[in-house]
């Protein structure tokens, strides 16, 4: 059985771990060579000690990767040298870690098979279904990523996430990865200024013009709205992803904004982390939901998030457009479906479809 983290582990979680008899300890990002200090999890969670260095274990026979994410119980304010209660762990933080962990397992599986040439993998889809409310207080999480398909250069992984102390299943993620020959990426990886990066290179979109909504009631997003969107996760500094302009139309049920990405937000080399892309899309969707319905997004559950990655977004990209619109409202279930996309020069890079639903009257947590 793996070494016990510094938090209580529910007996049901212990039993899940005990089913594996061949677990091997593996380092965090062990196959990501060389370590990248600009990687989002390292720069924004590990470096400020908001997250303990994750403990990961691999089962060679079952092809599972499992482990714990333990978040700090207290934090120190940069303005006041005293301990205080840190912010609650947001669900978007968890699917950022899910994108990381499932990528780790898919890379390990591909590396285990002899091939004529090396490959590099990319997430093409991440679907997350919610099982319970994660907001109450969970700060220690257990995940168990398992392989459901390995075919040619495609890997599909399913990964449930549990509250370590209560054993409540919180989320279930399904991630699909495709691997491409490393040789096809070498120029871009070796030289971030390579002209093949085109108009997404640093500073290239600074003069982009935000398209106006074709609606008579379109109005600008408030400074407070833009400020909120510019801090994608509550542990990140303000203005991490600056949203410079934006507008919303209630009649069209649509929100559009323009944003920039910085350099210490990477997942794969040179690209913005997929978890952050999904978060930016989700935050725009949640704000639109509130604008259209008048209901705070914290009063409902995002029961399904379906993220599709069509094209990587380069670090330090400027003038990226986030465009969210209400796709459907079901009067019987009160479900609201919002579709959002990130695009640059008319090319769609990432999309997210979110289903919002009323919260259960009683949460098990």
Residue 159, strand partner residues: 173
Residue 200 covered by a domain: no
Residues 216 and 315 occupy one common structural domain: yes
Residues 52 and 106 occupy one common structural domain: yes
Tell me the C-alpha distance between 235 and 212, whole Å.
32
Tell me the C-alpha distance between 135 and 40, whole Å.
22
pLDDT the model gives residue 95: 85
Residue 166 covered by a domain: yes
Tell me the C-alpha distance between 267 and 57, whole Å.
21
Residue 302 covered by a domain: yes
Residue 310 covered by a domain: yes
CATH label of the domain that carries residue 100? 3.10.129.10
- How many domains does one find in the chain? 2
**CA-wise closest residue to 44 among 262, 308, 244:** 262
Geometric angle at alpha carbon 120, from 119 and 122, rounded to 5°: 135
Residues 30 and 121 occupy one common structural domain: yes
**CA-wise closest residue to 198 among 188, 208, 190:** 188
Residues 169 and 135 occupy one common structural domain: yes
Choose one of 184, 219, 245: the last residue of a domain: 184
Range of the domain at 169: 11-184
Residues 133 and 217 occupy one common structural domain: no
The set of residues, in sequence order, having a beta carbon less than 8 Å from that of 219 and lying 6+ positions away, is 247, 248, 249
pLDDT the model gives residue 255: 96
Residues 51 and 126 occupy one common structural domain: yes
Whole-Å CA distances, 60 to 105, 150, 249, 263: 11, 14, 52, 35
Tell me the C-alpha distance between 161 and 284, whole Å.
25
pLDDT the model gives residue 207: 40
Residues 251 and 352 occupy one common structural domain: yes
pLDDT the model gives residue 228: 96
Residue 251, strand partner residues: none
Tell me the C-alpha distance between 263 and 34, whole Å.
17
SS3 category, 236 = coil
Residue 227 covered by a domain: yes
Residues 295 and 176 occupy one common structural domain: no
Residue 42 covered by a domain: yes
Residues 216 and 174 occupy one common structural domain: no
**CA-wise closest residue to 202 among 96, 320, 347, 39:** 320
The set of residues, in sequence order, having a beta carbon less than 8 Å from that of 137 and lying 6+ positions away, is 88, 365
CB-CB contact of 147 with 163 (8 Å): no
**CA-wise closest residue to 162 among 274, 234, 69:** 69
Residue 312 covered by a domain: yes
Per run of 10 residues, the mean pLDDT along the chain (length 365 residues) is 67 96 91 75 90 93 95 58 66 91 92 79 94 67 95 93 93 94 66 47 44 82 96 93 94 96 86 95 97 91 95 93 96 94 94 91 38
CA 34 remoteness from chain centre: 22
pLDDT the model gives residue 126: 97
Residue 347 covered by a domain: yes
Residues 295 and 260 occupy one common structural domain: yes
SS3 category, 117 = coil
Tell me the C-alpha distance between 343 and 362, whole Å.
39
Residues 267 and 166 occupy one common structural domain: no
Residues 158 and 216 occupy one common structural domain: no
């Amino acid at each position: 059985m793996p070494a016990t983290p510094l938090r209580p582990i529910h007996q049901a979680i212990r039993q899940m771990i005990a089913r594996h008899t061949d677990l091997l300890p593996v380092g965090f990002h062990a196959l990501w060579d060389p370590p990248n200090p600009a990687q989002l999890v390292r720069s924004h969670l590990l470096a400020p000690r908001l997250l303990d260095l994750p403990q990961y274990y691999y089962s060679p026979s079952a092809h599972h990767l499992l482990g714990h994410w333990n978040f700090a119980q207290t934090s120190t304010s940069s303005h006041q040298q005293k301990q205080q209660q840190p912010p609650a762990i947001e669900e978007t933080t968890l699917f950022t870690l899910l994108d990381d962990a499932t990528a780790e397992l898919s890379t390990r599986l591909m590396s285990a098979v002899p091939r004529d040439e090396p490959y590099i993998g990319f997430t093409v889809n991440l679907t997350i279904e919610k099982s319970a409310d994660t907001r109450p207080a969970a700060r220690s999480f257990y995940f168990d990523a398992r392989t459901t398909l390995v075919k040619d250069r495609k890997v599909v992984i399913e990964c449930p996430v549990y509250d370590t102390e209560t054993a409540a299943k919180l989320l279930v993620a399904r991630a699909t990865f495709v691997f491409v020959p490393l040789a096809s990426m070498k120029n871009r990886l070796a030289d971030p200024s390579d002209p093949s990066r085109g108009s997404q290179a640093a500073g290239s979109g600074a003069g982009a013009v935000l398209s106006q909504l074709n609606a008579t009631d379109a109005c600008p997003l408030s400074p407070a709205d833009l400020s909120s969107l510019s801090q994608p996760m509550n542990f990140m500094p303000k203005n991490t992803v600056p949203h410079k302009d934006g507008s919303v139309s209630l009649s069209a049920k649509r929100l559009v904004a323009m944003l920039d990405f910085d350099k210490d937000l990477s997942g794969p080399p040179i690209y913005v982390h997929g978890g952050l892309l999904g978060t930016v899309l989700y935050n725009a969707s949640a704000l639109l939901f509130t604008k259209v319905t008048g209901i705070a997004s914290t009063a409902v559950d995002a029961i399904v998030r379906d993220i599709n990655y069509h094209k990587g977004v380069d670090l330090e990209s400027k003038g990226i457009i986030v465009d969210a619109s209400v796709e459907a409202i079901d009067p019987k279930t009160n479900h609201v479906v919002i579709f959002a996309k990130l695009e640059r020069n008319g090319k769609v890079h990432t999309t997210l479809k979110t289903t919002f639903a009323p919260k259960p009257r009683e949460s098990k947590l």
